Amino acid sequence: MGRHLTAVLALLLTSCAGHSLDNARPQVVTVVESSSLPTPDVSDYDEDERPYHVGPFDRLEIRVLAIPELANVGVQVDAGGRISFPLVGIIRVAGLTPFQIEDKIKDGLRGKYLRNPQVTVNVTDMVSQMITVTGEVRSPGLYPVIGRLTLLRAITLAKGTTEFSDEDSVVIFREVGGERYAALYNLKAIGQGRYPDPEVFAGDVVSVDDSRARRIFRDFITMSPLLSGPIILLLKGL
């Protein structure tokens, strides 16, 4: 992308400075010289203010002191968000933090087997991280990232686009290293093999022909139609 386009975009999009993204476009936009969005790393999911909430297919390691048979029990959360734990039975854990699960197991053991249960729960395999799919899809909502998930597969999870969708205006929002990015994709171009189907990661928001997304990319779309690859912007001043 040329520097001239970057400068023009920044000038056009600063006219509504000080407003939120829902009411106006970003204060500063920079075109990223890359063919793909930055990839999140562990630090992007490890912030102290973001407690992890367990979900389907996560694997847990549960330790109960004073009961040797339960000193190291590995369990996997089922599709319904439940686990089965010895002496306690079925526990619904979806949406709970590891500390909350510890409390549930303690409650199940307390009095019957131990006076003061000591329990620790660790997540050993996080496969329930979620993405959000919004806009003109048949079933918008939160979907788990299990294994490798691409944009087209994410749209499929949401049961596909609607009759009102504009498949050349699909945006992925992502936060990496404290920076917020938005990338514009054309589903038809991806389907035709013009460029690769991008991978999506936990925390991403996929927006199909959403007015919020179109505000960000409106001027760029007018100046340069999306043909040979995604357009990636670094969002500032939101």
Instruction: In whole angstroms, give the CA distance from residue 183 to residue 199.
Output: 12
Question: Between 7 and 231, whose confidence is greater?
Answer: 231
pLDDT of amino acid 28: 56
pLDDT of amino acid 207: 93
pLDDT of amino acid 220: 65
pLDDT of amino acid 16: 36
- Residue ranges of E strands in 86-237: 89-92, 119-125, 130-135, 141-144, 149-150, 170-176, 179-185, 199-200, 205-208, 231-236
Could you read off the pLDDT of 148-201 as tens digits, one per residue?
Answer: 899 999 999 999 999 888 888 899 999 888 888 989 998 988 988 888 999 998
Q: Which CATH number fits domain 3-44+128-236: 3.10.560.10, 3.30.1440.10, 3.90.950.20, 3.30.420.40?
A: 3.10.560.10
Label residue 221 by pLDDT band (50, 70, 90).
low
Task: Please say whether the beta carbons of 103 and 63 come within 8 A.
Answer: no
pLDDT of amino acid 4: 36
Sign of the torsion angle spanned by Cα atoms 209, 211, 216, 222: positive
153 φ/ψ angles, rounded to the nearest 5 degrees: -70, -35
Could you read off the pLDDT of 51-73 as tens digits, one per residue?
Answer: 778 888 889 999 999 999 999 99
Interacting residues of 107 by C-beta distance below 8 A, sequence separation 6+:
none
Instruction: In whole angstroms, give the CA distance from residue 74 to residue 77.
Output: 10
Could you read off the pLDDT of 93-139 as tens digits, one per residue?
Answer: 988 999 999 999 999 999 989 999 999 999 988 776 788 999 999 99
| Verdict on whether the full-model pTM lies above 0.75 | no
Instruction: In whole angstroms, give the CA distance from residue 39 to residue 90.
Output: 37
CA distances from 70 to 58, 73, 105, 188, 211 (A): 19, 6, 12, 53, 53
Interacting residues of 158 by C-beta distance below 8 A, sequence separation 6+:
133, 137, 138, 139, 140, 141, 143, 206
**Cα three-residue angle 71-77-80, rounded to 5 degrees:** 145
pLDDT of amino acid 2: 41
Beta partners for 207?
134, 171
Task: Please say whether the beta carbons of 233 and 37 come within 8 A.
Answer: no
pLDDT of amino acid 169: 82
Q: What is the CATH number of domain 59-125?
A: 3.30.1950.10
pLDDT of amino acid 11: 35
pLDDT of amino acid 42: 59
**Cα three-residue angle 192-193-198, rounded to 5 degrees:** 115
**Cα three-residue angle 11-17-23, rounded to 5 degrees:** 115
pLDDT of amino acid 26: 43
Instruction: In whole angstroms, give the CA distance from residue 116 to residue 72.
Output: 18
Domain ranges for the chain, please list them: 3-44+128-236, 59-125
Instruction: In whole angstroms, give the CA distance from residue 46 to residue 8.
Output: 36
